Amino acid sequence: MHISELDTPVMLVDLTVLEDNIRRLQEELTALGVAGRPHIKTHKIPAFGRKQLAAGAIGICCQKVGEAEVFAMAGFDNILIAYNIVGPSKTARLARLQHLTHAIAAVDSEETICGIAGAAAEDGVRVPLVVEIDAGGHRAGVQTAEEALALARRIADLPSLAFEGLMCYPTTDHVTPILLEAREQLTRAGLPPEIVSGGGTGAQRRARAAGLTEHRSGTYAYNDMNCVRNGNATLDQCAMQVLVTVVSTASPGWATVDGGSKTFTNDNVRANGHNGTVLEYPDVFLSRMNEEHGILSTEQSERRPKVGEKLRIVPNHACGTTNLHDYVAAHRNGTVEAIFPIAARGAIR
């Protein structure tokens, strides 16, 4: 079956481009001497995570216990949940996960440490933890090396926990001296970090200066228009598009497709068009979105799409788009190889 025969809207993933993207980053990391730990939030599909391991990744990163459960069940044996796991339901699941896989969590407070320690003790397991350091975004992480050391000591004191190291997101110039100082202090205190984990698509160039042992990256597998605009990818390196159908050209200068913000998200939406690139019509812009309508401006294009025509649109944000869809059509050169369920979509807890 050719992708043009698929009903729309549907996510397409070009397997050749995906595999090239995975290989290219792994080669870059190998040259840097830094391990790769891909973030599966971008695709949420175990079969694609397998491709990342096969290329040389040491494990994967998840953001939610629910995502880690899906990947643990699929046989992934080294998972970092880069998130403070809080509350009795989720800490119990994190402890239970240790029977299936090596699932590391991130912490930035005494409260989170104690919650996980209690659940781990109750389940008779030891949960490995890394201490998160704020990279400057104020979303999570301790502010100083001293705080990181204090939390590491607390972890090391609790028999149901294991101190594994440090993490930050993304790897920034702000966090680099704090990471280096924390590593120094931990080593002097007899708690040398086994893991120093940084991340962010494109941020691998800071990995060595920050003394990272591993780099976490998600979007690089698919790439998207944000990556193209940031210079981290070319349009040809975008593995994922959404196939849509033109449903209306009744208003002159405009063409409407059957995917809007419930298909593409409003992530990084721009007021004046360029909310996705139409591969078939470089001069046509995804100007606005309503929930189920994507409104293309066709005024600057000599050729104009017609009702019934199918178009491929590269979204602004791949990870958000994945989160809206239940399936992807994986293809090579347009020939569909498989329809994959996005297994960890909806695993929000």
Interacting span for a copy of itself (CB under 8 A) from 26-34, 225-233, 242-250, 330-338 = 242-250
Answer yes or no whether residue 269 interacts with a copy of itself by CB under 8 A.
Answer: yes
Kindly tell me which of 55 and 131 has the beta carbon lying closer to a copy of itself. Answer: 131
C-alpha 155, offset from chain centre: 27
Answer yes or no whether residue 262 interacts with a copy of itself by CB under 8 A.
Answer: yes
Tokens representing residue 162 in the block: 């294991």
Please, what is the minimum distance in Å from the beta carbon of residue 114 to a copy of itself? 10
Range 8-27, binding a copy of itself (CB under 8 A): 8-10
Kindly tell me which of 34 and 37 has the beta carbon lying closer to a copy of itself. Answer: 37
Q: Point out which residues pair with 216 in neighbouring strands.
A: 199
Kindly tell me which of 234 and 251 has the beta carbon lying closer to a copy of itself. Answer: 251
CA distance 240 to 132: 31
Answer yes or no whether residue 253 interacts with a copy of itself by CB under 8 A.
Answer: yes
Number of amino acids touching a copy of itself (CB under 8 A): 67
Task: Identify the residue whose tokens are 């590391």.
Answer: 104
Interacting span for a copy of itself (CB under 8 A) from 121-129, 192-200, 220-228, 267-275 = 267-275
Buried b (16+ CB within 10 A) or exposed e, 151-164: bbebbbebebbebb
Tokens representing residue 223 in the block: 């790439």
Answer yes or no whether residue 186 interacts with a copy of itself by CB under 8 A.
Answer: no
Kindly tell me which of 89 and 187 has the beta carbon lying closer to a copy of itself. Answer: 89
Interacting span for a copy of itself (CB under 8 A) from 16-24, 185-193, 224-232, 255-263 = 255-263
Q: Point out which residues pair with 10 in neighbouring strands.
A: 243
DSSP string, 180-224: HHHHHHHHHTT---SEEEEE-TTGGGGTTTTT-SEEE-SGGGT--
Answer yes or no whether residue 346 interacts with a copy of itself by CB under 8 A.
Answer: yes
Answer yes or no whether residue 301 interacts with a copy of itself by CB under 8 A.
Answer: no
DSSP, res 271: T
Answer yes or no whether residue 261 interacts with a copy of itself by CB under 8 A.
Answer: yes
Answer yes or no whether residue 143 interacts with a copy of itself by CB under 8 A.
Answer: yes
In the stretch 71-110, what mask flags binding to a copy of itself with x, by CB under 8 A? Answer: ------------xx-xx-xx-----------------xx-
Assign 3-class secondary structure to 4-48: HHCCCCEEEEEHHHHHHHHHHHHHHHHHHCCEECCEHHHCCCHHH
Answer yes or no whether residue 229 interacts with a copy of itself by CB under 8 A.
Answer: no
Length of the chain: 349
Answer yes or no whether residue 226 interacts with a copy of itself by CB under 8 A.
Answer: no
CA distance 29 to 41: 20
Answer yes or no whether residue 256 interacts with a copy of itself by CB under 8 A.
Answer: yes
Phi and psi at residue 235, to the nearest 5°: -60, -35
Answer yes or no whether residue 162 interacts with a copy of itself by CB under 8 A.
Answer: no
Answer yes or no whether residue 325 interacts with a copy of itself by CB under 8 A.
Answer: yes
CA distance 158 to 127: 10
Task: Identify the residue whose tokens are 């993207």.
Answer: 21
Kindly tell me which of 19 and 170 has the beta carbon lying closer to a copy of itself. Answer: 170
Please, what is the minimum distance in Å from the beta carbon of residue 169 to a copy of itself? 9
Answer yes or no whether residue 254 interacts with a copy of itself by CB under 8 A.
Answer: yes
Burial class (CB within 10 angstroms; exposed 0-12, middle 13-18, buried 19+) of 111:
exposed
Tokens representing residue 181 in the block: 């100082």
Answer yes or no whether residue 237 interacts with a copy of itself by CB under 8 A.
Answer: no
Phi and psi at residue 169, to the nearest 5°: -150, 130
Mapping DSSP to helix (H, G, I), strand (E, B) and coil, where does residue 336 land?
Answer: strand
Task: Note the residues at the interface with a copy of itself (CB under 8 A).
Answer: 7-10, 41, 63-64, 83-84, 86-87, 89-90, 108-109, 111-112, 115, 132, 134, 137-143, 147, 245-254, 256, 258-259, 261-263, 265-269, 288, 290-293, 295, 306-308, 319-320, 323-326, 346, 348-349
